A = this chain, B = another copy of it.
Amino acid sequence: MRNLCMTVSYDGTAYNGFQIQPIGKTVQGEIERAMAMLTGEDVKIHGSGRTDAGVHARGQVFHVHTNASIPVSKWPVALNSRLPQDIVVLTAIEVPLLFHSRRSAKRKTYRYSIRTGKYPDVFRRNYEFHHYNPLRVHAMRDAMSALVGEHDFTTFTSIHSTKRSHVRTIYKAWLEEEGDVLHFYFTGNGFLYNMVRIIMGTLMRIGEGKMEAARMAAILAARDRSLAGPKAMAHGLTLWSVEYEELDFEREARQ
């Protein structure tokens, strides 16, 4: 029995999220099907976390226990040839049996992308939220800084959250401009259900001038979902990377 850890990128447009659901195609379902085709084993993969329907991943991570003897370096190409084109496995490494893609994760980074301007970019339409009117970038950047640190993020999670604790730490939150596109990055030790999307819906209100940037700290402290903005559309969101101690996927990818 071996434990394999893989990174996978996917275009979430056609999927009902990462995790297997009673209804709809899922990324997990497609990967498990490809693994069964490859190995004959009926295995279950374990993701670092769920992504919602329509959310993408540049570097989702999963682990899987397998008895297959295929050399670890062969796994990505072997799986990709059995996967649909909107799912691409990028790296595979063997890890200790106790490694768990979710429990061992130290930091995750999400990116949310917004294109402002009259027209969407037809080639990025499924990966950028299109916002016709300009946004106040400085105000959004100011408001983001209020989120950094350890906080109870109840304000920014679904009222259906079943987590016992809503305390999470955001280590970094930053905004990059690329022409008419704004990329919002959030790195934290974990994210609650819908957290990035509700933060983004709130930041958009601030960017539209409907809320003051200085309000961000107050609504965070209030722990009241009704004070935040609406949940932003899924398609602007990408799970950018998941980090672990002693694992460097970028280095692996270069080898």
Contacts and interface: CB of A to CB of B under 8 A. Distances in A.
A214 to B, nearest CB: 34
A9 B122 contact: yes
Contacts of A123: 9, 11, 56, 127
A76 B122 contact: no
A128 to B, nearest CB: 11
A184 to B, nearest CB: 17
A82 B28 CA distance: 35
**Main DSSP-derived SS at the A contact region:** loop
Interface in A16-58: 56
Interface in A68-126: 76-77, 80, 85-88, 90, 118-123, 125
B11 A88 contact: no
A76 B120 CA distance: 12
A186 interface: no
A76 B119 contact: yes
A10 interface: yes
A56 B122 CA distance: 10
Contacts of A10: 122
A118 to B, nearest CB: 7
Contacts of A86: 122, 125
Contacts of A122: 9-11, 85-88
A10 B125 CA distance: 11
In the complex, which of the residues A9, A85, A120, A122 has the most CB atoms of chain B within 10 Å of its own CB atom?
Answer: A122
3 A-B pairs with the lowest CB-CB distances in the bound complex, closest first:
A9-B122, A88-B122, A11-B122
20 contacts: A9-B121, A10-B122, A11-B122, A11-B123, A11-B125, A56-B123, A76-B118, A76-B119, A77-B118, A85-B125, A86-B122, A86-B125, A87-B122, A88-B119, A88-B120, A88-B121, A88-B122, A88-B125, A90-B119, A123-B127
Given A9-B121, A76-B119, A86-B125, 17 more contacts: A9-B122, A9-B123, A10-B122, A11-B122, A11-B125, A76-B118, A77-B118, A80-B119, A85-B120, A85-B122, A85-B125, A87-B122, A88-B119, A88-B120, A88-B122, A88-B125, A90-B119
